[in-house]
Amino acid sequence: MLQPLADALALPLLLLLVVQAPPLTGARPSPGPDYLQRGWLRLLAEGEGCAPCQPEECAAPRGCLAGLVRDPCDCCWECANIEGQLCDLDPSAHFYGRCGEQLECRLDAGGDLSRGEVPEPLCACRSQHPLCGSDGRTYAQICRLQEAARARPDANLTVAHPGPCESEPQIVLHPYDIWNVTGQDVIFGCEVFAYPMASIEWRKDGLEIQLPGDDPHISVQFRGGPQRFEVTGWLQIQAVRPSDEGTYRCLARNALGQVEAPASLTVLTPEQLNSTGIPPLPSLHLVPDEEVESEEGDDYY
């Protein structure tokens, strides 16, 4: 009876000895970059408090788009939090981390708090003024330019001047080629960035006649946005007919130049559609009172 019990206890004891056995002399070190190993050694040494500062054990932070900040023990450098990242409202706390250069920690009150959402502390740029970079791009604010400069250090990106860069229009959203059946409505859209602001015109084929002209079934609409220094234009054709088929051009111009983008319209009769076996496209309607929401997520606009 004792032998089976001894055998049952022998295996756990053997595994315990293996786990606790010291590493052999000359064993391979654990894989991974050396700076990461030094960082983990320091964290283990600190525990819940701060060990004496030994800079040689600090990990070397890399790819920090918002710059560097000191760690909770004020010893090592670490990556600062970028815009939109969670942060600690209390400067003495160090749970989410600290915001980087030109950033501050604020409560985000943009959510729908009426539905019980709790505002979160997020890093926000202190300045919301656009500026022109030395690369000729307009950045929403200084924080976005600094992120781009740190992401491309070889570019030597700097601030050329406050305010947006003056440039000829750039079509950021081209109109798409469309086909539809006679009697249906179609819409072409065109989104343009420029400073000074650009005007948008619509023309058909190679003609210089500006649409809609005196054609009652064609209408145009323009609206600023969705980003600052942008304008969006739409061309709507109601109840298309075969004579509407052709190439339509979105032409944008300001004092510095002009640019255009074409898109084609193909009109099929019901008989032609039936012969192809393709299901008809839904009719598109332009809602005059539709609100266009602004998006602030891009590095430049």
**Torsion angle, alpha carbons of 117, 118, 121, 126, to 10:** 60
Say if residue 95 is exposed, middle or buried (CB neighbours under 10 Å; 0-12, 13-18, 19+): exposed
Contact criterion met (CB below 8 Å) for 125 and 141: yes
Q: Which residues pair with 99 in a beta bridge?
A: 81
> What DSSP designation does 78 have?
E
Contact criterion met (CB below 8 Å) for 147 and 299: yes
- The secondary structure of the chain in percent helix, strand, coil, rounded to multiples of 5, reads 20, 30, 50
> What DSSP designation does 26 have?
T
- Contact residues for 145 (Cβ-Cβ < 8 A; gap 6+): 131, 133, 139, 157, 159
Contact criterion met (CB below 8 Å) for 179 and 277: no
- Would you write out the chain's pLDDT as a tens digit for each of its 301 residues? 445 545 554 544 444 444 344 444 333 344 444 444 444 455 555 455 788 898 888 988 999 999 999 998 889 999 999 999 999 998 888 889 999 999 999 987 665 556 667 788 999 999 999 999 999 988 989 999 999 999 999 999 999 999 999 989 999 999 999 999 999 999 999 999 999 999 999 999 988 889 998 899 999 999 998 888 899 999 999 999 999 999 999 999 999 999 999 999 999 988 887 776 666 555 444 444 444 444 444 444 3
Contact criterion met (CB below 8 Å) for 269 and 195: no
Report the alpha-carbon distance of residue 196 to residue 256 in Å, rounded. Answer: 8
> What DSSP designation does 135 have?
T
Position 235 scores a pLDDT of 97
Q: Confirm whether pTM is higher than 0.75.
A: no
Position 154 scores a pLDDT of 92
Contact criterion met (CB below 8 Å) for 228 and 301: yes
Please compute, for residue 289, the number of CA atoms within 13 A of its CA located in the half-sphere on the CB side: 0
- Contact residues for 274 (Cβ-Cβ < 8 A; gap 6+): none
Pick from 269, 267, 263, 197: nearest CA to 235: 263
